[in-house]
């Protein structure tokens, strides 16, 4: 009868390296004490959402604040799910949000000496370790067809026992105990029949909770985890020769010397499999960080739902096209990632977010609902910290990619910077810029291309509008300072029977037609087309005298 060694040799007759050689090729990293090695392993489905970014930040921060290494690995072991250009999309999206990798796949090929960083290129490596498991009798080839597996599942359901392939369900598991079966396996392999390689689990199937052996695994987010023994003979190499996630994870993260595996909590149930795989290969476990997932409100009602791949407003591209500044998204994500971040920010308003010491212990273990109001609020204060010229440049880049129709806004960049800076350097700076599309609307009245009068005069002053504007134009002196300018408005207001102060009007509404606010609103609408805007005087200084006079003139 065939020995384990002979079986392994039969299945993988020629492999260029031994496991030991790989260990030497990818030695322990020489890094300072406490340095963390993390990785992001997206599968190239071409869709990245906020949740992926959220996880990526954890990886990035953990590695870089400890002097470690952060690398990008493409996990493309699912051939059915590959999407054209997805890798490029992933790389550019992450770069846009300032996620910097030290190693891994880039648009110009791999960087780093622990590659290849694309799983589909690592077939030989996986096979080498699968072969080792085969040699040690810790794995076996399984010829069960889809039909047979379905039949097994049905039977298991009927018997109300755990579904899956494990001891007692695949006859191929015990090929070495049956001469005839061993012969069959050998000839089927020689005939080139398709098969998968399964782990021969050492766990006891369906043991009670008390009987199950448990392993203590450290999770940096959730503390010590008590992980039960796995007993499933999971597939480690698929029929195609490609490994499953489970096997690729274990082999890669060991060989790439990952110290911290950050992944979503949906992986928690498969942790027993990974623990057994690491043990079977004789390797130490990394520290796991199972993060809670970002959620959203479902279309239906108020129910919580996980961010599904198809939620367009959870897609990174959505925020990009709306023109949310990457720093704002980063800032928002950090506030939900670490609950003490906002407090830190309040104390360090001008510091770079990189200076904040991020800890996994401060991460919530329950999923947060995405909150657009909060993002908008965070974005306002983030943009307030951004220099106007820089903001202008960024808006231009955004426009050329997502909104070319705003091209006219960027003809005079200094002018644009002045507009953006409106009221931002006051003692109590304005914070009303949120995202690019909103900003375009916010400043639209500065440009004749987008200017239109949408609001109507306030009731209190509508009948006097002509008179107000005529007097305004007559008294207008572009060189007036803010105080002088406003005194003239007051004058016009009182001359026409309006209260000079809103308070007076409120006290004695019967004595006045309205108050100075109504009068200035008339001017505001003539100039800006809307009743709401920043300081009129400051706007006029930026607009220039000519435009002020012509806008007023149009309304006479």
The token duo for 337 is: 């990632």
Name the residue nearer to RNA (CB basis): 8 or 237: 237
Handedness of CA 549, 550, 553, 554 (dihedral sign): negative
Name the residue nearer to RNA (CB basis): 238 or 396: 238
HSE value, Cβ hemisphere, 13 Å, CA-based, for 379: 21
* Least distance to RNA, CB of residue 340, Å: 7
Name the residue nearer to RNA (CB basis): 69 or 519: 519
Annotated active-site residue in 80, 177, 296, 308 = 308
How far from 166 is each of 11, 138, 143, 199, 551, CA to CA, in Å?
22, 13, 14, 9, 80
Q: How many CB atoms lie within 10 A of CB 353?
A: 19
Neighbouring-strand partners of residue 199: 139
Give the C-alpha separation, 339 to 329, whole Å.
16
* Least distance to RNA, CB of residue 482, Å: 7
The token duo for 376 is: 């908008």
Is-catalytic flag, 308? yes
Give the C-alpha separation, 138 to 311, whole Å.
42
How far from 152 is each of 25, 123, 171, 204, 298, CA to CA, in Å?
42, 30, 12, 19, 36
Give the C-alpha separation, 11 to 136, whole Å.
14
Helix (H, G, I), strand (E, B) or coil at 244: coil
Give the E-state strand segments of 222-360 in sequence order.
223-228, 235-237, 260-264, 287-291, 295-297, 304-306
Name the residue nearer to RNA (CB basis): 158 or 180: 158
* Least distance to RNA, CB of residue 31, Å: 26
Neighbouring-strand partners of residue 499: 515
* Least distance to RNA, CB of residue 1, Å: 24
Helix (H, G, I), strand (E, B) or coil at 473: helix
Name the residue nearer to RNA (CB basis): 239 or 550: 239
Give the C-alpha separation, 30 to 68, whole Å.
10
Give the C-alpha separation, 12 to 125, whole Å.
12
The token duo for 148 is: 């047979």
Name the residue nearer to RNA (CB basis): 1 or 359: 359
* Least distance to RNA, CB of residue 379, Å: 11
What are the residue ranges of helices labelled H in 114-199?
A: 123-135, 146-159, 179-190
Name the residue nearer to RNA (CB basis): 180 or 209: 209
How far from 90 is each of 47, 48, 263, 316, 468, CA to CA, in Å?
8, 7, 17, 10, 57
* Least distance to RNA, CB of residue 20, Å: 27
Query: 247, 216, 250, 263: which is closest to 62 by C-alpha?
Result: 263
* Least distance to RNA, CB of residue 336, Å: 4
Name the residue nearer to RNA (CB basis): 99 or 337: 337
* Least distance to RNA, CB of residue 109, Å: 21
* Residue positions annotated with a catalytic role: 308
């Amino acid at each position: 009868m065939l020995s384990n060694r002979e079986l392994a040799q039969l299945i993988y007759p020629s492999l260029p390296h031994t496991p030991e050689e790989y260990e030497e090729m990818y030695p322990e990293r020489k890094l300072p004490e406490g340095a963390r090695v993390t990785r992001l392993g997206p599968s190239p489905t071409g869709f990245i959402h906020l949740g992926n970014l959220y996880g990526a930040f954890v990886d990035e921060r953990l590695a870089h604040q400890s002097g470690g290494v952060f690398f990008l690995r493409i996990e493309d072991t699912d051939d059915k799910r590959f999407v054209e250009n997805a890798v490029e999309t992933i790389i550019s999206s992450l770069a846009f949000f300032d996620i910097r990798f030290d190693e891994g796949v880039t648009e110009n090929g791999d960087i780093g000496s622990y590659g290849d960083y694309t799983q589909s290129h690592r077939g030989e490596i996986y096979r080498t370790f699968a072969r080792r498991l085969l040699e040690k009798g810790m794995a076996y080839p399984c010829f069960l067809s889809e039909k047979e597996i379905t039949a097994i599942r049905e039977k298991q359901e009927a018997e109300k026992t755990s579904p899956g392939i494990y001891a007692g369900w695949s006859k191929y598991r015990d090929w070495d105990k049956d001469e005839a079966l061993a012969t069959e396996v050998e000839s089927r392999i020689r005939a080139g029949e398709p098969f998968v390689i399964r782990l021969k689990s050492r766990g006891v199937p369906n043991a009670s909770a008390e009987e199950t052996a448990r392993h203590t695994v450290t999770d940096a987010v959730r503390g010590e985890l008590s992980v039960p023994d796995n007993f499933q003979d999971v597939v480690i190499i698929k029929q195609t020769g490609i490994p499953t996630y489970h096997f690729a994870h274990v082999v890669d993260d060991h060989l790439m010397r990952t110290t911290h595996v950050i992944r979503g909590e949906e992986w928690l149930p498969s942790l027993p499999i990974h623990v057994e795989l690491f043990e079977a290969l004789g390797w130490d476990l990394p520290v796991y960080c199972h993060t809670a997932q970002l959620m959203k409100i479902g279309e239906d009602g108020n129910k919580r739902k996980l961010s599904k791949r198809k939620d367009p407003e959870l897609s990174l591209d959505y925020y990009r096209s709306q023109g949310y500044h990457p720093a704002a998204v980063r800032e928002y994500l950090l506030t939900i990632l670490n609950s003490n971040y906002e407090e830190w920010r309040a104390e360090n308003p001008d510091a770079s977010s990189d200076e904040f010491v991020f800890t996994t212990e401060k991460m919530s273990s329950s999923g947060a609902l995405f909150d657009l109001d909060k993002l908008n609020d965070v974005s306002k204060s983030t943009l307030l910290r951004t220099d106007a010229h820089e903001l202008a440049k960024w808006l231009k880049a955004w426009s050329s990619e997502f909104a070319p129709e705003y091209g006219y806004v960027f003809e005079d960049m200094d002018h644009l910077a002045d507009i953006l800076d409106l009221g931002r350097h006051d003692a109590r700076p304005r914070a009303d810029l949120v995202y690019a599309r909103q900003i375009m609307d916010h400043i639209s009245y500065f440009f004749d291309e987008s200017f239109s009068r949408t609001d109507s005069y306030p009731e209190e002053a509508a009948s006097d509008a002509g008179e107000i504007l005529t007097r305004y134009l007559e008294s207008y002196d572009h060189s007036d300072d803010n105080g002088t300018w406003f005194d003239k408005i007051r004058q016009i207001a009182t001359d026409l029977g309006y209260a000079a102060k809103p308070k007076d009007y409120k006290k004695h509404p019967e004595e006045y037609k309205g108050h100075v606010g109504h009068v200035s609103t008339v001017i505001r609408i003539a100039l800006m087309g809307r009743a709401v805007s920043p300081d009129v005087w400051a706007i006029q200084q930026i607009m220039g005298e000519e435009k002020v006079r012509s806008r007023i003139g149009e309304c006479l």
